Amino acid sequence: MSVALAATLVIAAPAQAATIVDTGKPVGGDNPIALNPNQSLAGRFLLTSATVLTDIQGFIGSSPNAEITIAIRDGVAAPGNVLYSGSLTAVRTASFQGLSDLNWMLDAGQYWVSFASSGYSSMMPGAPRPMTQTAYLDPRWGWQSYPMSMGVRISGVAAAVPEPATWAMMIVGFGVAGGALRRRSSATRAAVHIA
């Protein structure tokens, strides 16, 4: 019994979040990249397996009380449909700001993280490890590919996919439990008929 309890606790232990994207803290230098009601910014990333995103941050400087919307989008060559999104009120000082305690499940594939602002904000350039493809949204032209070295951090955990042995053990367990219930009900019926 204690071995089964220990195994259950080990299996149920929460996984540690792993870094999916970390471009590093931007060092500045160039002009800030505008993030405002007329222009959104996005960067593409790749997931090699099913993953639950837990944290997303961008290195953002903002006007007071600007609402920043962070979204995960599908798409290969350019950002597409919004799959998940969330908002936060940004602080004025340029820093990594974003969403935490997320539970956004994504299959393996290519995705985009996008940043939009209700006010006049910016993302600092000069991240030491820029994303491989970035784009900006202009209402007149749609998403346009444009090289930017904005600061982005994304963390997540591998999605829990039961192994075949786990499925087999679970099915055998249900069979044993069903057999025990059937045997018990047969014994109860036999006892009732005798009396």
Alpha-carbon span 62 to 18, nearest angstrom: 28
Q: Is the pLDDT of residue 30 over 70?
A: no
- pLDDT tens profile 55-66: 999 999 888 889
Share of the chain above pLDDT 70, in %: 79
pLDDT at 191: 54
Boundaries of every domain in the chain:
14-158, 163-195
pLDDT at 63: 83
pLDDT at 75: 94
As a whole number, the mean pLDDT across the chain is: 84
SS3 content of the chain, % helix, strand, coil (to 5): 20, 40, 35
pLDDT at 2: 46
Among 15-29, 31-45, 47-61, 138-152, which is the least confidently predicted range?
Answer: 15-29
Asked if 100 and 106 touch (Cβ cutoff 8 Å), the reply is: no
pLDDT at 188: 57
Q: Which CATH number fits domain 14-158: 3.40.50, 3.30.750, 2.60.120, 2.40.160?
A: 2.60.120
Pairwise pLDDT comparison (93 vs 192), residue with the higher score: 93
pLDDT interval class at 1 (50, 70, 90) = very low
Among 16-20, 28-32, 41-45, which is the least confidently predicted range?
Answer: 28-32
Whole-prediction pTM value?
Answer: 0.76
SS (HEC) of 56-103: EEEEEEECCCCEEEEEEECCCCCCCCEEEEEEEECCCCCEEEEECCCC
What single-letter DSSP state applies at residue 20?
Answer: E
Q: Is the pLDDT of residue 91 over 80?
A: yes
Q: Is the pLDDT of residue 69 over 50?
A: yes
pLDDT at 168: 66
- pLDDT tens profile 135-176: 999 889 999 999 999 999 999 999 876 666 665 677 777 777
